[in-house]
Amino acid sequence: MDFLSESTHRLEEEAKKIEYELRVVLPKEIHTALAHGDISENGEYEAAKERQSTLSARLAQIRKRLADLSRIDVTAIPRDRAGLGSRVTVENVGTGQEVMYTLVIPETADGKKNFVSIASPVGTALLNRKPGDEVTVQAPKGTLEFEVTKVVTTFGDTLE
């Protein structure tokens, strides 16, 4: 599943940039600001410390997310129903229009490509579904009613 390795790589790259800023850039800025004297009214010092705090929090988030992603067991993804990485074709019960969604992790969700996060209302509703299942989704734009018509699993199994 390319989107997992792609997301992991992107997060690792972001972590490297943050670590560099935390270990190299910000210490220099803080040292320079401290050289100006009184820190009680030193805007440069306050800004650098605030940036340091923000970056430390983001780095912690990235490390947690990387740990979460490393625990995804691809072999545990179902072959007989929709799961992470599946392409799910649904028919809108009201309009008859067909749409194909790909179930992805939040980092790779993209509405233009119909990549829906498994954490989103539509993604959550489609998880573990099989062709013939009817799905009702409470979305921000209102209630959507779908019938699952086709599922292509991560492993290439097609269910119709």
pLDDT digits (tens, 9 = 90+) for 35-52: 877 777 778 888 888 999
The model's pLDDT over 95-146, given as tens digits with 9 standing for 90+, comes to: 899 999 999 998 889 989 999 999 999 999 999 999 999 999 987 888 889 9
Report how far residue 9's alpha carbon sits from residue 30's, in angstroms, rounded to the nearest whole number: 30
Over the Cα atoms of the chain, what is R_g? 22
Domains by residue range for the chain, with CATH: 2-72 (1.10.287), 76-159 (3.10.50.30)
User: Which of 118, 9, 17, 18 is CA-nearest to residue 66?
Assistant: 9
Tell me the pTM.
0.74
pLDDT at site 124: 94
Paired sense of beta strands 142-152 and 158-159, if any: antiparallel
Taking the C-alpha atoms of residue 120 and residue 104, their distance in angstroms, rounded to an integer, is 10
Q: What angle do CA 10, 100, 5 make, to 5 degrees?
A: 20
